[in-house]
Amino acid sequence: MKANISTAVATTTTNMLLQQRRQRRPCGRQRRGQHHHRHQRLPQPQKLILAFVIIICLQGINCFQRFSEQPKYTEVNPGQDALLTCKVIDKRGTCSWQKDNKPVGIYAKKYEWAARPSSSSSGGLHLDLHPPPMQIGGDCSLWIRSATLDFDDGLWECQVTASDFTTQDALTSQPVRLVVRVVPQRPRLEYEGAHVPPGHNITIDSGALATVKCVSHYGNPPATLKWYLGDQEIQPIHPQINNTEPDNPRTWSATSVVQLTAMRERHGDILRCLAQHESYTAKSVPVEARLDVKYAPTIRLIGSPEIDLEEDKDALILRCVADANPPASIVWRRAGRSEIASLQETLQLRPVGRRDAGLYTCQAQNSVGTSEQLSVQLDVKYPPKIVSAGPDRLTTAPLFSPAAFECVAEGNPMPSYKWVQRIAHGSKFVERGSESRLVIDNVTYDFQGEYECRATNYINGQERVAVSDAISLQVVGAPQVLRPHPSMHTISVKRGEPAVMSLVVCADPRPHRVSWEWGSLRLEAGSGIDRFRADDMLQDTREDCYLSTLHILRTDEHDSRPYYLVVENERGSDRHAIHLNVEGTFTEPLEMSYLLGIAGGCLAAILILICLCIYAVRSKKCCFKGSSGYKSSDKDSEKADLKSRSDSTSGPQGDSIYTTPAGFHHHQQQQQQQQ
């Protein structure tokens, strides 16, 4: 049969070659002139050699059997059936199986062929209940019934014997593992050689490198281990290591190692190892541990005052919050003091006092390290308080001598000072100084009175004022007439109206002589004459000061003049004037005559000017020539006329002189003696 096939193949091959040559022949004819030597027909011996070679090749191809499908890695649960597939093309040998390098026999209900001869009378093949699809070639697939770990787990090989002893085409598949699954134990974490129970902590110092191991024992196949930090998958330092268990070599332990750099940001994160296995009910089992990262404390202050704290009014609550693992101990200290202010997280001062002011520092410490120090400056505000003002409650200073007062006040912030003088025991004050020390270089009666020192500061925008007790300044010396404002140096009244002129005089001791003087008249206080009256001195609102007033009834033009107040005591005297201006001193007829006089004077001046011009024309000094007809007698007559005019215009000057009665009689006696 084999010879017949070879002969047919050779004949077919020869015919195919001849046909191909005939098909190429036309192309060769077109090029016969150019390539005649390339289209020579092969000799008969060469044809026979070519056919023989093709036959040998086809015989070799048809004789060798080969795998079309080899067994594959297979997993099966205990008690279940497993199919190991093995298919051979042009199978002529005998199939057999080997496990762990040992042959396996065919046993009913344990190891059975997937396709085996049927025992029926038809003589055909009887397929098993669940055979694989039939393919071209032989089927050496094997059913393993009710797989068990002890008998079936291992390396399996499919083998086929040679077609005959000369072909040497025996087949052996690659060893494949049939795995009978075994549920691995729950994974466990190990750190520094110690087991970490689920849910416990892995304690690491900040900055250290932590090596954590995840192990899963007694699984078949070994579990697949994955790592997660939080929700993010992380990679182990190397692929997981699978080893057979020493006490049960058919099961495996899986080991995976991960390394973590401990950072405080990872404190509290969950490190999870996930073991994946088909035998698990949920296909995976996790084991978790919490990262307990130890780190030195960092602190922050809460409650630092943002507004002024006032003594005995406000409270202070400061918190020193530490972020540390393990928890840190807090220490409050106050600068300049050796004792500890507090060992609590919270420092409370209820209420604050000025004794509490200072620099406070907070520091935290744990087993890992010590935090930096945070400081807060506590500045307790309190209103001003007068400590001293003086030097004495009563100070006597001579007139025109220097005097000084000192005021000392405490407060926070530092108060500003103001010295004020109370005027006339009322609510009116005059500011005298803005420093703690008030210096009066030249004391006058204006400075006599009560003084107050006012210390002022501001707390939260509110003014706080402290006022000292009154300090009295007494001035002794000669009288001093107080100078009024420049606008009051002159008093204006209309003619016929009364005039009142008043001045204040201060003196200590009290003046023993007070009078008003104008012209040659002196009018003592408390007396009067004609239209003039001087009042007795009246006590002024200021201490040691008196009011002196001069009244003039029905003023006329002769009253416009300065009036002097003269004051004397045993220490000296003083005088000062008030100017009186009487308005409208001329009556209506007098005003008309005054205007007529002015007009007459102007006319006389014009006449004199004309005369002078005529005289100049006629004089010899004039540039005109000719003799002058002006006689000396005329000159004399003119001189006589001018002299008579001047005598007629001159006369006794009238002046009203007023005096006291004694002065008036003295003036009459002088007139009688002159007569």
- Max Cα–Cα distance, the chain, nearest Å: 210
Vertex 78, ends 72 and 79: CA angle to 5°?
105
Query: Does residue 194 belong to any structural domain of this protein?
Result: yes
Check whether residue 159 and residue 87 sit in a common domain.
yes
The reported pLDDT for the residue numbered 279 is 92
Check whether residue 162 and residue 71 sit in a common domain.
yes
475 burial type by CB count under 10 A (0-12 exposed, 13-18 middle, 19+ buried): buried
For the segment 435-471, what is each residue's pLDDT rounded down to a tens digit?
999 999 999 988 988 999 999 999 999 999 999 999 9
Which of 378, 400, 422 terminates a domain? The answer is: 378
Q: Among positive and negative, which fits the CA dihedral 524, 529, 531, 533? A: positive
Query: Does residue 617 belong to any structural domain of this protein?
Result: no
Query: Does residue 78 belong to any structural domain of this protein?
Result: yes
The reported pLDDT for the residue numbered 675 is 39
Backbone angles phi, psi at 192, to 5 degrees: 55, 40
Segments in the chain below pLDDT 70: 1-63, 116-137, 424-426, 585-594, 620-675
Which of 583, 602, 622 terminates a domain? The answer is: 583
- 255 pairs with which residues across the strands? 215, 241
Query: Does residue 649 belong to any structural domain of this protein?
Result: no
Q: Which domain holds residue 310?
A: 303-378
Q: Give the containing element (helix H, strand E) for 56.
A: helix 44-63
Check whether residue 84 and residue 71 sit in a common domain.
yes
67 burial type by CB count under 10 A (0-12 exposed, 13-18 middle, 19+ buried): buried
- Closest Cα to residue 455, out of 501, 410, 494, 491? 410
* Number of domains present in the structure of the chain: 6
- 74 pairs with which residues across the strands? 178
Check whether residue 466 and residue 390 sit in a common domain.
yes
> Is 0.85 surpassed by the pTM of this model?
no
Contacts of 94 (CB under 8 A, 6+ apart): 160, 161
- 278 three-class SS: coil
Check whether residue 257 and residue 338 sit in a common domain.
no
Check whether residue 22 and residue 104 sit in a common domain.
no
Check whether residue 159 and residue 214 sit in a common domain.
no
Check whether residue 197 and residue 171 sit in a common domain.
no
Which of 273, 294, 315 terminates a domain? The answer is: 294
The reported pLDDT for the residue numbered 593 is 59
SS3 content of the chain, % helix, strand, coil (to 5): 20, 45, 35
Check whether residue 56 and residue 143 sit in a common domain.
no
Which CATH number goes with the domain that contains 116?
2.60.40.10
List the structure tokens of 525.
């206080």
DSSP-derived secondary structure for 617-637: HHSTTSSS-S-----HHHHHH
Check whether residue 368 and residue 399 sit in a common domain.
no
| DSSP 8-state class, residue 513 | E
- Closest Cα to residue 490, out of 554, 584, 566, 563? 563
Query: Does residue 613 belong to any structural domain of this protein?
Result: no
Query: Does residue 412 belong to any structural domain of this protein?
Result: yes
- b/e per residue 537-571 (b: at least 16 CB within 10 A): beebebbbbbbbbbebeebeeebbeebbbbbbbee
Query: Does residue 421 belong to any structural domain of this protein?
Result: yes
Check whether residue 206 and residue 265 sit in a common domain.
yes
Rounded to whole angstroms, how far apart are CA atoms 432 and 446?
11
A 10 A CB-CB count for 42 gives 11
The reported pLDDT for the residue numbered 591 is 53
Check whether residue 288 and residue 333 sit in a common domain.
no
Query: Does residue 619 belong to any structural domain of this protein?
Result: no
Q: Give the containing element (helix H, strand E) for 380.
A: strand 380-390
Q: Among positive and negative, which fits the CA dihedral 342, 347, 350, 352? A: positive
Q: Is the CB of residue 543 less than 8 Å from the CB of residue 448?
A: yes
Q: Give the containing element (helix H, strand E) for 670.
A: helix 661-674
Q: Among positive and negative, which fits the CA dihedral 275, 280, 283, 285? A: negative
